[in-house]
Chain A
């Protein structure tokens, strides 16, 4: 009889442990449901907004045309929506190091959009206006913001793997013994050599997972150097 009571106690203990574990999972999911998304914005979020505030700055560097999972169109994003939710909002596995994680505001926007059903247009008919996107221009600040920050500075920054090659200012690139930029001469500038699709050591390196520069981005860099590589 005593043995039976002991067995029963062990069974109760195990079931309590299992139930506590599942409660934890439940809590985590409820936490996401209750806090991560913004109820007031549910009908105002659109793909265009999320694309410009989250996907372009935080995902497209790797998930572009030459990445494994392309997140450059609404259809492709929608096809991966469950996976996106898992790896960004629930497990925070993405963006991967060395890229910075999504901040609180980006997480809230993404969670709200997914909670709304990941609509292409805002459900209420009126979108929150996306930030104004300045077109890529053959000017250093534009190149820095739209190309270097997304595809280069993740390694070419102080404390990072390729800090020895600085892309911080036009003058540093011009003065570099690597002849990164030769003003007026894009064809002899190392920057152009390494980003061309036929480069021996193409940048960004394939192992980084970062997508190669698009032809229009390469063209803008060439134009900037041809114009003298000034600010």
Chain B
């Protein structure tokens, strides 16, 4: 009887430990990780650890889920790239994040600065990307859900509408669908439209 009690206690403990480990492994949706990385960029600029051009010339984020071997290992890596320079290379920053999405370290990658990156008249490029991520995380649009959960990359483009208005278009890819998602924003950061596209 005593042995049975011990066995039950042991099973409960093991189950709790597994649950804790799993929770620590994947507690944040990838769309949220991307959104947090935009805040991280702001923070690193404020702390003068990276250049302000990561906010004004940001073109893409790549979100990678890691498999931590130890609890202290990072759970996510986000690569933020500036517009490519004349030789096609980009200045990048790799941001490592823990299981909650908190930044743990960052590494700058050299590249060539773009001289002809799009200029935004109101919100900067990082804010436009961040607002598009707020949309997929907070709107009730069911088409946006696979991009909140399985986001792998976002790319910002500057386009002109038929009416001649300059808008930002954020293209998103996800592991949870083969479709693409496009969020179009005005230069003040308000979302104008959002829709999926079959590639």
Q: Which of B36, B46, B55, B100 contacts A193 (CB 8 A)?
A: B46
Chain B 97-114 interface mask (CB, 8 Å, partner A; 1/0)? 100111100000000000
Q: How many residues of B contact A (CB 8 A)?
A: 18
A200 sits at the interface (CB 8 A): yes
Q: Which residues of A contact B102 (CB under 8 A)?
A: 177, 179
A188 sits at the interface (CB 8 A): yes
Which residue of chain A lies nearest to B127 when distances are taken between CB atoms in the complex? A201
- A200 pairs with B47, CB closer than 8 A: no
Q: Which residues of B contact A199 (CB under 8 A)?
A: 46
Q: Which of B45, B47, B100, B134 contacts A177 (CB 8 A)?
A: B100
Task: Give A151-185 interface residues, CB cut-off 8 Å to B.
Answer: 164, 175, 177-179
B39: shortest Cβ distance to chain A, in Å? 5
A218: shortest Cβ distance to chain B, in Å? 15
Bound CA–CA A188/B46 (angstroms): 9
Bound CA–CA A179/B36 (angstroms): 11
B143 sits at the interface (CB 8 A): no
Q: Which residues of A contact B127 (CB under 8 A)?
A: 201
Measured CB to CB, the residues of B under 8 A from A are 28, 36, 39, 42-43, 45-47, 55, 97, 100-103, 127, 134, 137-138
Measured CB to CB, the residues of A under 8 A from B are 164, 175, 177-179, 188, 190, 193, 199-201
13 contacts between A and B (CB under 8 A): A164-B137, A177-B28, A177-B39, A177-B101, A178-B36, A178-B39, A179-B102, A179-B103, A193-B43, A199-B46, A200-B45, A200-B55, A201-B127
Q: A179-B43, A193-B43 are in contact. List 6 more A-B contacts (CB 8 A).
A: A164-B138, A175-B100, A177-B36, A177-B100, A193-B46, A200-B55
